[in-house]
Amino acid sequence: MKLQDKVMIITGASSGIGRATARQLDTLGVHLILTARRKDKLEQIASELHSAVCIAGDMTDPSLPEQLVEAAVSKYGRLDIVFNNAGVMHIGTVDDADINALCHMVRLNVEAVVRMSYTALRHMKKQGSGFLINTSSLAGMKSFPEIGPYCGTKYAVEAMTDSFRMELAGTGVKVTAIEPGRTRTGLFDHWSEEKQFNPAEGMIEPEDIARSIQFILEQPDEVLIPRLLIVPARQPR
């Protein structure tokens, strides 16, 4: 895909991987619809870019995916790419995990991804072209102690993304799961100090994931990367 003048929605665009991807694709001439809850952050990012519209909102609001697609179509007449990326990570032991936070995570990391995926794919299928990238994780491939519900949300993203890929083969609509390992973002900011990762095992930067998103999108029409795992070279798991 040639990225110049393509129209792209990015969810979770106010920080981390979403923000880095917005900046990367902006340099290639992509028109961006950015969303997240923090309007001030979104507007700050958009003000640095050439062509970005902000629609602040909570992805667990069932009406938001349709609003995002409508914004793309009314402004540009089309929607080429959705980076379905907003997510949170709550962890904890059987004894100390916050059950309400875990269940809210399931709504955001799974339910909202389902709504955004179907809303975008219906539009793209009619259009006869489009690209959906869902953010999974290394945790979408294997489970770890105290992180089970988060891993479960990403297993769900893996399953639905691969199912969409097979269903839509030959329609002109492509679907990929990106699978980052530990990436230096705001995802762990709310964790207590003793839960933080061992810095000796390294972290990749959100810009590393943004370059991978570009790589996935720029493949020729006949090529699809269904999943892409990117981990710190020093991460032993």
Q: Does 182 bind ligand NAP (CB under 6 A)?
A: yes
Near ligand NAP by CB under 6 A: residue from 8, 9, 16, 120: 16
Q: Does 149 bind ligand NAP (CB under 6 A)?
A: no
Q: How far is the CB of 23 from ligand NAP (least distance, A)?
A: 13
Q: Does 59 bind ligand NAP (CB under 6 A)?
A: yes
Q: Does 24 bind ligand NAP (CB under 6 A)?
A: no
β-bridge mates for residue 227, sequence order: 177
Stretch that binds ligand NAP, among 45-53, 68-76, 181-189, 213-221 (CB under 6 A): 181-189
Q: How far is the CB of 17 from ligand NAP (least distance, A)?
A: 4
Near ligand NAP by CB under 6 A: residue from 14, 21, 24, 119: 14
Q: Catalytic site residue 150?
A: yes
Task: Concatenate the DSSP letters of all residues of 57-85 into one string.
Answer: --TTSTTHHHHHHHHHHHHHS---EEEE-
C-alpha angle 113/38/138, rounded to 5°?
A: 40
How far is it, in rounded angstroms, from Cα 235 to Cα 237? 6
Q: Is 174 helix (H, G, I), strand (E, B) or coil?
A: strand
Radius of gyration of the chain (CA): 17
β-bridge mates for residue 130, sequence order: 173
Stretch that binds ligand NAP, among 44-52, 67-75, 91-99, 178-186 (CB under 6 A): 178-186
Largest CA distance in the chain: 51
Task: Estimate the share of the chain in helix, then strand, then coil, as percent rounded to the nearest 5.
Answer: 45, 15, 40
9 and 24 Cβ atoms separated by less than 8 Å: no
Nearer to ligand NAP, 51 or 202 (CB): 202
Nearer to ligand NAP, 182 or 227 (CB): 182
Q: How far is the CB of 166 from ligand NAP (least distance, A)?
A: 23
The phi, psi pair for 236, rounded to 5°, reads -80, -5
Residues 74-113, one symbol each (x = binds ligand NAP by CB under 6 A, - = not), give: -----------xxxxx------------------x-----
How far is it, in rounded angstroms, from Cα 4 to Cα 229? 26
Counting residues that bind ligand NAP (by CB under 6 A) gives 29
Give start and end residues of each alpha helix (H) in 94-147.
99-106, 112-127
Near ligand NAP by CB under 6 A: residue from 7, 8, 36, 120: 36
Site residues, ligand NAP (CB under 6 A)? 12-18, 36-38, 41, 58-60, 85-89, 108, 135, 137, 180, 182-183, 185-187, 206
Annotated active-site positions, please? 150
